[in-house]
Amino acid sequence: MTAELSQMFRTKREGVGFVLDAMEAAFPGQELLVYTVPGSFVEPAEARRRALEVAASNWAATARLVGRFVPDCILIDIGTTSTDIIPVVRGDLVAGGRTDPERLLRGELVYTGALRTPVEAVTREVPLWGGSCAVSAEGFALVGDAHLWRGRLRREDYSVAAPDGRPATRDYAGERLARVVCGDRELLDEAAIDGIARAVAEAQVRTVAAAIRRVRSRHPALDRAVVTGLGDFIAAEAAGETGLGIVPLAHRLGDASRAAPAAAVAWLLACQRAG
C-alpha cells in the first residue's frame, strides 16, 4: 500500500482505512490481501489493526522480489516522487528503517523522484550566462521538466499536472525551466535551458549517489545495484558514480519494472500460494 501519506488524511491510520474502504467498495465480495512491511499478506480487518505495518509497504515487496533474483545487492527504486535505497543480503532486506521517518533518518528513503520533485528542492543554483544563478522557490518547474527537456522522460510519463497547467511537451518544459530563474523563452535561448536542465539532473544524481554511499557504508560487501522505477536512468547514473555494478530490473520484469511494487506483490503472493 501507498497513498496513506496524502495530506487529505490527518494520520497514516486514517489513510490506510480510506484505502481499504475504497478497495472493498471497488471489489465487493472479492478476496483482498494487503502486504505488510514484515513480509506477510493479511486481510483488510487485520490490516486496519496493523495500520503502521501496511502503510508505505511497497518498498519492502520490491526488495524481497529483488532478493529472489540478486541475493546480495542494493535496490535503488526511483519513482515519480521518491527514491528507495534498500540493502538486500542473502535474499532478504536488511534495511535499518521500517517506517518512512526511520528510513529518511538512515538515508534509505530520499525524497527526490523522476517527476514530481520541485526544481528548488534539488538545487539552489543553476548556470546562467556564464555565472551561477540562484533559483526561485515558486514551484515554477518540476524535475520532470528537466528530464522531459533532455529526452529522458516521455510525454506519457509526465503523469501529473504541470505547474503552469500546460501540456507535457519539450517546448512547454523549456518555458517552465526558464521561469526557475525568473525568465522566459524570450530571455533564455536553447543553450541556457540546456544548462539549467543539465544542472538539475546532475544535482539529483549527486543527491542519490550521496545516499547510496551512506547506505553502502553500512554494507561495504555489497557491490551491485539493482535499478528500477520511472527514474531507473537516474539510479543507474548514481550507482555508477559510487562504483556499483548495475543490474536493471527491467531485464527481468520488462516494462513492469516501472511499477515494480505492483509486480512484486503479485509475484510474492503467487510464490506463497505455490508453496
Task: Determine the topology of domain 123-202 in CATH.
Answer: Nucleotidyltransferase; domain 5 (3.30.420)
Could you tell me which of 131, 152, 241 has the C-alpha nearest to residue 196?
131
List per-residue pLDDT tens for the chain, 275 residues long: 889 999 999 999 999 999 999 999 999 999 999 999 999 999 999 999 999 999 999 999 999 999 999 999 999 999 999 999 999 999 999 999 999 999 999 999 999 999 999 999 999 999 999 999 999 999 999 999 999 999 999 999 999 999 999 999 999 999 999 999 999 999 999 999 999 999 999 999 999 999 999 999 999 999 999 999 999 999 999 999 999 999 999 999 998 988 899 999 999 999 999 97
Write down the domain spans for the chain: 123-202
What pTM value is reported for the model? 0.95
Name the pairing type of β-strands 224-228 and 245-248: parallel
Could you tell me which of 50, 9, 14 has the C-alpha nearest to residue 33?
50
